[in-house]
Each structure stands twice: as structure tokens, then as C-alpha cells.
Amino acid sequence: MRLLMLFAHWVGLSLWIGGEVANLIILAAARREDPSIFGAVARIRVAILRKVVAPGALVTLLTGLILTVQRYYVELWLVVMQVAGFVGAILVLLIALPTGVKLSRIDPTGESVPYFLMLRGRLTSIGVVSLAVALLGLWAGVM
């Protein structure tokens, strides 16, 4: 059972980090494109967030909690990994996901452009912080 939980934990972490990196690459590539496609780019980013990043963060969080309960002692690296994973997962699940859903429903042209750009910036910022925290947790677990 422990090996299955470790495998699911690593798969979840891979989905989480890989999805965030993919989102940032898509954002960087779309900056050079015509603003008329920003809506499609936002919907693609949100699809990755909903289908890859959020499930990865949730699986990582849940399996991490299960694996922690199975341990008999706690070390500093484990505390750093737990805090980083918890903060990152909360950022993804409670802030980035609702922001992404709002962003995907807004028209990026017309009067809603400032709101669209604000939500897009917020989603990007949360993604960068979530990625950094996930990498911190990964670093703590490997060291």
C-alpha cells in the first residue's frame, strides 16, 4: 500500500509541476501572438489547470497526508515538504481554479479587457508561486 501511495504521490507531483510549466510556456508563446486569440489561449490554460494541475495537486496533497500518517517520526525535510505542498495545493485548488474558471468565461475584447488582463495576471502569478512552492517541496523531499 505504501508503494502505491508513493507512486500516486510522484505521479500527482509530476502532473502538478508539468502542468504549471506547460501553462507558463503557453503564456510565453502567446505573448507574441495577436490579442484576438487571448480568449482561446486562456481557455487552453484553464483546461490544463482543471484537467492536469488541480488533480495533480489534489492527489499530491491527499497521498502526502496519508503517507505522513504512516510515519512514526517527523524530520525537518518532511515538515518543509508538508508546508510547501499544503500551501501550493491550497493556492491551486482554492485560488487558481476559481480564477481560471472566471477567466475562461470572460470575453477578452471590448469593455472586459481590463478585468480579463487582471485575472490573467493573477492566474499567472498564482501559477508561478504554486510552481515555486511545489519545487521547494520536491527539493525538500529529495534532500
pLDDT in tens, 85-140: 999 999 999 999 999 999 999 988 888 889 999 999 999 999 999 999 999 999 99
Which residue range(s) make up the domain with 47?
2-142
The residues, ordered by sequence, that sit 6+ positions from 106 with a Cβ below 8 Å of its Cβ are 39, 42, 112, 115, 116, 119
pLDDT in tens, 37-85: 888 999 999 999 999 999 999 999 999 999 988 887 878 888 999 999 9
Q: Give counts: helices (H), strands (E), the chain.
A: 6, 0
How many domains is the chain built from?
1
Question: What CATH code is carried by the domain that includes residue 119?
Answer: 1.20.120
